[in-house]
Chains A and B, each alone.
Chain A
């Protein structure tokens, strides 16, 4: 159903993954799948290799009770299942090669909203780097204001007002929570 109340609606991927209504498909570009499964295989292989660095037999344990036996099994499962997705995606890719649209990195990044995403991530990374060095409340207020001003939709004065109010409210809430629950902030 089209949603008239949502501009530039973007489906939020979710925690529980709703059962898809009939007709909807969750299939994604096989090239994306290939990259994803390769990443997962690498993660799995790193754990497999690292698992072998710990001896499977010692005076404390034997193979079946070794500290790395469980992670080794799980990492192998991860590699096997991810390889299966990789093989499937390669097959799909070769079958659909002719009809798959050409990858236009700049265009697809733009459509995905990469610019805003990177700016948002940048602000967060800066915030994380300054944590513990600058007063937590000041830093948090600055973060809320930065988001509000950079991603504003209307006038800057309105964005300043809205994010200023939000910053004050959130700091007041945190301060009260800190007082009541005795929480220490970074």
Chain B
């Protein structure tokens, strides 16, 4: 895959107005979902994956990527105007966005937000275009053993990072997903397992109802628990892009974009982490850290750029390795799989035009969302005033449609509801949902490659630990697990202290000489 494939993808896209229209539809839907507090990017993508199942693959992907970019950008509206992040990624945006609105600078803040989001997303997608061929080529050397570890790393690291204060809960969620995923026929011998007498379970759990249930239903049910009323205190006028103003912070933008990109590449970690990390890094580096939290443009831009650049980073491992960079990317992976496109190294090598098309769609989606973000701002903001107890039952109807469309089975709707209840319980007990869903997505990859690898070696597990890349991946997994435990962090601290004590001694010796 090379630049020609990307250009070819662009060429094909520009000659296809229907797909461009779908990008705009997806972008607008994403903005709407993004700005509604409680509706997450993942919910938006899960629903759209179900609804667009009947479309041609590139058209469905156009809607989904458009919605992905749109919801990440749109989430800042409610963060700025009502101090409630539209998506979790915008929680950091609230800190400075809302104070700006309180100062009567809501329009300016939205203008800055749209501009910073666009630049961040473009930088993220630039690196997507740059890294995808490189990573895809590198991944060609991966075999059964390496893919097993990659899948396990995806689930375990997602667990650690989604539950930073208590990683074990993240791992438990991941193991739960990996266990539940095995219900139904296995891929190698087609033996039905754990069906508990239910015929419908022999096909296993379909991914879309599980995802819609785990993400969408808890939002619907939580919306009625405590009824919320929102008031928009700031007036919103015509939004004007602030390129010249934002470009004053070019180094801040570049740094935040790189943070977003790297965070995005790490499996399971989403734009929320990128946003916070960019924010805190900007605060540390700022000459005026005291302004952070009181309407600091720096803080605001850092959070916005970081979370948007993450989108590009999220898509890189999704396409090249078949491992989603975040929960929304996991839905994108599922959507690609549903449309018979198997993301991974083979996609990059065998169907470079598809990868080129995805990159082209991503870039056009950024521009589409930029244009859409400047239109109908006043009308869109009014939607924020619709009470959630009115909005959420309507969302539930879309959830039902999304879950049903895929296979036309009522069973999938019931399954969605059951996973919704599981999601509510997990949320109440502080177990993250993302590793559970990731377990469902990466589980087949882990299981098939583990068994296949052992079959090749007649039960000898040595290649899982002795092949260079396998060993490296195993060590990454091992260190990430150990470092998350009390004993491991103590060990790491004492090791670093030991090395720190060595360094001055060495310098001292040099000086003495």
Task: State the A residues within 8 Å of B (CB).
Answer: 1, 3-10, 12-21, 25-28, 32-33, 36, 39-40, 43-44, 47, 50-51, 54, 60-65, 67-71, 74-75, 77-78, 81-82, 84-85, 112-114, 116-117, 119-121, 123-125, 127-128, 131-132, 140, 143-144, 146-148, 151-153, 162-163, 166-167, 169-170, 174, 177, 181-186
Rounded to whole Å, the gap between the CB of B495 and the closest CB of chain A is 24
Q: Which residue of A lies closest to B328 (CB)?
A: A15
Task: Please state if A174 and B401 are interface contacts (CB–CB under 8 Å).
Answer: yes
Given contacts A36-B429, A78-B176, A182-B54, contact A124 B219 (CB under 8 A): no
Judge if B389 is at the interface, Cβ distance under 8 Å. yes
Which listed residue (B225, B229, B410) contacts A116, Cβ 8 A? B225
Task: Please state if B165 and A20 are interface contacts (CB–CB under 8 Å).
Answer: yes
Q: Which residue of A lies closest to B194 (CB)?
A: A50
Mostly, the B contact residues are: helix
Q: Which residue of A lies closest to B391 (CB)?
A: A166
Rounded to whole Å, the gap between the CB of B101 and the closest CB of chain A is 10
Distance of A71 Cα from B451 Cα, bound (Å): 11
Task: Please state if B228 and A6 are interface contacts (CB–CB under 8 Å).
Answer: yes
Judge if B270 is at the interface, Cβ distance under 8 Å. yes
Q: Which residue of A lies closest to B277 (CB)?
A: A19
One of B106-114, B370-378, B392-400 at the interface: B392-400
Task: Please state if A116 and B179 are interface contacts (CB–CB under 8 Å).
Answer: no
Which listed residue (A36, A124, A147) contacts B389, Cβ 8 A? A147
Other than A13-B428, A67-B186, A85-B168, give 11 A-B pairs with Cβ distance below 8 A: A3-B83, A6-B83, A6-B84, A12-B38, A71-B447, A82-B172, A85-B172, A120-B224, A128-B417, A153-B227, A174-B397
Task: Please state if A117 and B273 are interface contacts (CB–CB under 8 Å).
Answer: no
Per-residue contact bits, chain B 293-325, to A (CB 8 Å; 1 contact, 0 not): 100000000000000000000000000000000
Taking CB atoms, residues of chain B closer than 8 Å to A74 are 175, 178-179, 182
Taking CB atoms, residues of chain B closer than 8 Å to A71 are 179, 182, 193-194, 447
Q: Which residue of B lies closest to A115 (CB)?
A: B225
Taking CB atoms, residues of chain A closer than 8 Å to B476 are none
Judge if B17 is at the interface, Cβ distance under 8 Å. no
Taking CB atoms, residues of chain A closer than 8 Å to B405 are 183-184
Q: Which residue of A lies closest to B162 (CB)?
A: A17
Q: Which residue of B lies closest to A151 (CB)?
A: B389
Distance of A183 Cα from B232 Cα, bound (Å): 37
Nearest 9 CB-CB pairs, A to B? A113-B225, A13-B427, A16-B270, A71-B182, A147-B393, A151-B389, A36-B429, A64-B454, A120-B224
Taking CB atoms, residues of chain B closer than 8 Å to A47 are 179, 182, 194
Taking CB atoms, residues of chain B closer than 8 Å to A15 are 40-42, 88, 215, 270, 327, 433-434
Which listed residue (B175, B227, B396) contacts A8, Cβ 8 A? B227
